[in-house]
């Protein structure tokens, strides 16, 4: 087990930040959302769309759907 402590504000060393960048640019850019629920569904749809487009599995990405009701 290797543990790497990343600097708090060093996004280039945190791989998820690159995914968030692409998600915001490619899937969410220019869209307006009525509330947090609509935004949450758009994020889920965007993650799934990016996964399909890039042939990546997204089954390990879990969303807390109990918060979305």
Residue 7 is assigned to a structural domain of this protein: no
What are the C-alpha distances in Å from 22 to residues 3, 5, 38, 40? 26, 24, 19, 16
Using one digit for the tens of pLDDT, what is the confidence trace for 24-33? Answer: 999 999 999 9
Residue 43 is assigned to a structural domain of this protein: yes
Residue 31 is assigned to a structural domain of this protein: no
Domain that holds residue 59: 37-69
Q: How far apart are CA 33 and CA 39, in angstroms?
A: 6
Residue 42 is assigned to a structural domain of this protein: yes
pLDDT at 66: 66
What's this model's pTM, rounded to 2 decimal places?
Answer: 0.66
Share of the chain above pLDDT 70, in %: 88
Residue 56 is assigned to a structural domain of this protein: yes
> What does pLDDT average to over the chain?
83
Greater model confidence, 64 or 26: 26
- Count of the separate structural domains present in the chain: 1
Residue 10 is assigned to a structural domain of this protein: no
Residue 26 is assigned to a structural domain of this protein: no
């Amino acid at each position: 087990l290797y543990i790497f402590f990343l600097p708090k504000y060093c996004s280039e060393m945190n791989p998820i930040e690159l995914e968030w960048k692409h998600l915001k640019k490619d899937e969410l850019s220019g869209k307006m959302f009525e509330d947090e629920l609509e935004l949450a569904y758009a994020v889920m749809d965007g993650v799934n769309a990016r996964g399909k487009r890039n042939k990546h599995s997204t089954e390990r990405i879990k969303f807390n759907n109990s918060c979305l009701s």
